[in-house]
Amino acid sequence: MSRPLILVSNDDGITSKGILTLVNVMKQLGEVIVVAPDSPQSGMGHAITVGNTLRLEENFIFEGVKAWECSGTPADCVKMARHFVLKGQRQPDVVVSGVNHGSNTSISVLYSGTMSAAIEGAIEGTPAIGFSLSDFSHKADFSHTEEYIRKITQQVLEKGLPKGVALNVNFPPKQNEPLKGIRICRQANAKWVEDFDQRHDPNGRRYFWMVGNFVNFDKGEDNDEWAIANNYVSVVPCQFDLTAHAAIPVLNEEWEIL
């Protein structure tokens, strides 16, 4: 039987250290194809390119792996992979995204380009995983993630995922002690509290830098923030259906305009 076909993407760009880590692990598991942004696309969420052109160029950065760099967003990259690069050919058995430089726990999943690539895979009906390392340093050490990336991806390849589900996997930064293991978690109740640093350019025109702090309101021990803080790998199953199902009967019962 042929080896699994694995589509790799990310949001930090095709030259990032994290995607090299992911490609090297995926080469152990199957046939790898890469379609990733040609420049950083962090914080793009699930944006797609509709008002501008898209460019796609073959890139030979990965030894023994066919790769393309795309001018679009992470979601664009997965779409281009499936509907142009692989059009009329075998489709991926799994989509993997990352490894992101920085955490994508809690509410960050909504802003994450890393997870948008994974969720785009889930929308297309393919099992998908987004991997992130809770270390924003350009010198971040990814070595402790490799064993768990392999194990988690192998489980998904062998057992699949529920329809429409993508896994949001976050790793603690490298520490002196080994990782304690994996926790299947829920998304923590946390958010970014933003502020805007107002400045002026040489012509006196105002401009702003968005700044702020991440605030965790969650006191539970079953969420991704707790897992990362306690040196576990957090795995959160995510879905693209944002319907608040519990609110439907409430609105039907209480609204007087229906």
Q: Are the C-beta atoms of residues 71 and 54 closer than 8 Å to each other?
A: yes
**How is residue 92 written in tokens?**
């991926």
User: What is the C-alpha separation between 34 and 40, in angstroms, rounded?
Assistant: 15
- Is 11 annotated in a binding site? The answer is yes
The predicted pLDDT at position 256 comes to 84
89: CB partners within 8 A, 6+ apart = none
Task: Identify the CA nearest to 186 among candidates 247, 109, 94.
Answer: 109
User: What is the C-alpha separation between 14 and 36, in angstroms, rounded?
Assistant: 5
* pLDDT tens track, the chain, 258 positions: 589 999 999 999 999 999 999 999 999 999 999 999 999 898 888 999 999 999 999 999 999 999 999 999 999 999 999 999 999 999 999 999 999 999 999 999 999 999 999 999 999 999 999 999 999 888 899 999 999 999 999 999 999 999 999 999 999 999 999 999 999 999 999 998 989 999 999 999 999 999 889 999 999 999 999 999 999 999 999 999 999 999 999 999 999 876
User: What is the C-alpha separation between 19 and 12, in angstroms, rounded?
Assistant: 8
- Is 112 annotated in a binding site? The answer is no
- Is 97 annotated in a binding site? The answer is no
- Is 16 annotated in a binding site? The answer is no
The predicted pLDDT at position 1 comes to 56
- The distance from CA 15 to its chain's CA centroid, rounded to whole angstroms, is 16
- Specify the CATH class of 5-189+219-254 in words: alpha beta
Helix runs in 108-196, H state only: 108-111, 113-123, 146-159
